Chains A and B, each alone.
Chain A
Amino acid sequence: MIPDPIRAGLAAGWKVTDASALEGDLVLEADVAIVGTGAGGGVTAEILAEAGLDVALVEEGPLKSSSDFRMVEAEAYPQLYQESAARKTRDKAITILQGRSVGGSTTVNWTSSFRTPPATLAHWRERYGLRDFTPEALAPWFERMERRLAVAAWEVAPNENNALLARGAERLGIATAAIRRNVKACWNLGYCGLGCPTNAKQSMLVTCIPAALARGAQLICLARAERFALRGGRAEALVCRALDARGVHATGRRVTVRARHYVVAAGGIGTPALLLRSGAPDPHRVLGARTFLHPTVAAAGLMSGPVAAWAGAPQTLYSDHFLERGPIDGPIGFKLEVAPLHPLLLGMTLQGFGPAHAALMKDYPHVHVLLALLRDGFHAESPGGNVGLRDDGSPVLAYPLNPFIWDGVRRAYLAMAEIQFAAGARQVLPLHERATPYATWTAAKAAIEALPLEPLLARVMSAHVMGGCAMADRAERGVVDPLGRHFQLENLSIHDGSVFPTSLGANPQLSIYAVAARSAAALAATLAGKPAVPGA
């Protein structure tokens, strides 16, 4: 029997409220209220609780833990993902995978751990006045979080899905490198995306959040932060709606949290949406703007030998070759990684229907999928998207896919196909409604060069929502300052991926951890009088 630290903590008396079961409205007081329990909220909760502050965490999703994680897609997507993993951009052209349970996306991510690339930081220093964001100045924060979350080299051999990327790339003289992972005693199962059943993944769910709860923090789950009551440039209360057990409908009960300070960490869509619903001041019209996704396209390689892409650590190798070929603010570059494959999501994502689709699915054990994550936000023609609200107050991201992005998509399809053929693929199938399996690199190249690139034809996905509440040196070009403090609301901070002024060019979790830790330590120093040192 695998010990479940969450169930043990609940039995030990952690202060956790399941808002779906509330029979009346609830009013809570705390020193700091934190909205969201993902990478930003989790880290912040631990640091503030350690500083002796009374912390209340509000989470829209449920509290699920290793005992619940049965590695079954039909259970995991509704429980652990925003909109049952069916969240899409307004035109439905981009599918967005975001976590929604205690631990946020860290509960379902694939453990890929990268420090913020130096070229990204240099761009932020130049364009957004983030003078302190040098690799050297941030190194202690990265080190602190890497230590805390056991980020380390992965010593086990890559699974075949990852090995194929390295093999194909090597034959073409394209460099690949190893991805570090935040795991302890990992079983190499391959189901990170459905919640880690062995607690090996050092997500917020099993690290910072239990630590904060053990220090007396309170957690309210299945409560959606609806709006702040704002007055005189301050937040006076956070009003939340209790949700039913599925997290779908409001029950009518309200949870109100009154705090000295509020930290919003609801992610690149949730955070701007909460501020928009609250009518937060936005004198320079930057709130919810410049939201980035690493728009991601995919190609399936049909291999002769078994791949079994459902098994083994999902992402252990990558290539930045196509990020490093040109200047960061030139034509859009892309990072190459692989995707673990599980049948429900694969069946939904593969184009076509009838016998052609069925034939591809019967080849599932031989399917290898490469991903190209486009580095958006560094060029004038890559302004990202805008978060807005539907009539019911729910958030929606409009993200226009323009010729600048499509140029990168075409290059990415070509690069992926060439690598897959070099790795021995029998056929390569770009995930695009007009694409079919191509039997040679020559045929694939000709077909990809002619593919119409339009929304809803190319399959575009994102698992990385960034920006929308950018940090900057001054209010004209950002929502928060370099320590995450809101420019117009004096007792409100933002500690999540929404503060990034561009995308990262790398999977975001470690960047969010480090930047949130830096901001949280400064906040703890202000509120509790403790010094903000990274080694703490």
Chain B
Amino acid sequence: MLSRRRFLKFGLGGGLLLAAAGVARGQRRYVPASGAEPLAILDGGDRAVLAAIAPVLLEGAGDVAGNLEAIVGSVDRAVIGLPPHLQAEVKQLFALLGSWPGRRLLAGVCAPWGEAGRAEIAAFLERWRFSRWRLQQQAYQALHELVFAAWYARPDTWPAIGYPGPPEVR
């Protein structure tokens, strides 16, 4: 693992983290195969991170695998509405996790996201959740908020939790 000092250079707010990590990634626009709407903010690398993490966060909530594109689309729509400073932080977080040094050295996930197992991802999330480093705690909470908001934003998740949805008033 990196020292605290080194980690801070990777900080969410640091701005230079991608350069520091030697990561150069173009904006590869992600177009889902299913013919759903292209993503506005997230790119293919961001999608791969999300597609690996969301099923672990949402385990037990319902058919996550069958709704991955809907979850990714829902996160993308949420990010569009955030102010520029938060959009930049979210993009930095996904870019960091999508990079080799970010995944391997900071998240401690050995396998590429598409191949990492549930237990390995859950262990990474738990480490960041209770990390001594505030940036990791903040990053965990950002992932938690984005994914749970994306899931429960969708009316088809409501029957499983007994929520009838808003009443009819017209």
Looking at B58, B59, B153, which has the most chain A CB atoms within 10 Å of its CB? B153
**Residue in B closest to A394 when the chains form the complex, CB atoms:** B85
Q: A401 CA to B131 CA in the complex, in Å?
A: 18
Determine if B167 and A343 form an interchain contact, defined as CB atoms under 8 angstroms apart: no
Main secondary structure of the interface of A (DSSP, over half): loop
Does A248 have its Cβ within 8 Å of any Cβ on chain B?
Answer: yes
Interchain CB contact (< 8 A) of A86 among B59, B125, B134, B145: B145
Decide if B35 is an interface residue (CB 8 Å cutoff): no
Q: Known contacts A355-B59, A358-B61; decide if A71 and B166 are in contact (CB<8 Å).
A: yes
Partner of A362, one of B78, B86, B160: B160
Candidates A187, A198, A344, A390; contact of B85 at CB < 8 Å: A390
In Å, the complex CA distance between A171 and B130 comes to 37
- B77 to chain A minimum Cβ distance, whole angstroms, is 8
Contact of B148 among A1, A83, A348 (CB under 8 A): A348
A357 CA / B149 CA spacing, docked (Å): 13
In the complex, per-residue mask of A362-396: 1 if CB is within 8 Å of any chain B CB, else 0? 10110000000000000000000000001010100
Judging by beta carbons under 8 Å apart, are A248 and B85 in contact? no
* Count of chain A residues near B, Cβ 8 A: 47
Minimal Cβ-Cβ distance residue in A for B154: A74
Known A353-B56, A456-B141: A189·B163 in contact at CB below 8 Å: no
Contacts A344-B149, A359-B60 hold; do A392 and B163 have CB atoms under 8 A apart? no
A189 lies within 8 A of B167 (CB): yes
Known interface pairs A348-B145, A362-B161; A353-B57 also in contact (CB < 8 Å): yes
Contact in complex: B152, A343 (CB < 8 Å): yes
* Set of chain A residues within 8 Å of B59, measured between Cβ atoms: 353-355, 358
A361 interface contact, C-beta 8 A: yes
B141/A92 in contact, CB under 8 A: yes
| Complex CA distance for A394 and B157, rounded to whole angstroms | 35
Which B residues contact A (CB, under 8 angstroms)? Answer: 56-61, 74, 77-78, 80-87, 122, 125, 129-130, 134, 137-138, 141, 144-145, 148-149, 151-153, 157-158, 160-163, 166-167, 169-170
**What are 18 inter-chain pairs, A to B, with CB distance below 8 A?**
A72-B166, A74-B74, A84-B81, A246-B80, A249-B84, A346-B152, A347-B151, A348-B144, A353-B56, A353-B58, A354-B59, A355-B60, A364-B161, A394-B84, A433-B129, A434-B130, A455-B134, A456-B134
Known: A348-B144, A455-B134; 13 extra A-B contacts, CB below 8 A, are: A2-B169, A70-B166, A73-B153, A74-B77, A83-B83, A86-B82, A92-B141, A246-B81, A311-B167, A346-B152, A347-B149, A361-B161, A394-B85
List the 5 closest pairs (A to B, CB-CB), nearest first.
Answer: A358-B60, A78-B81, A71-B166, A74-B153, A347-B152
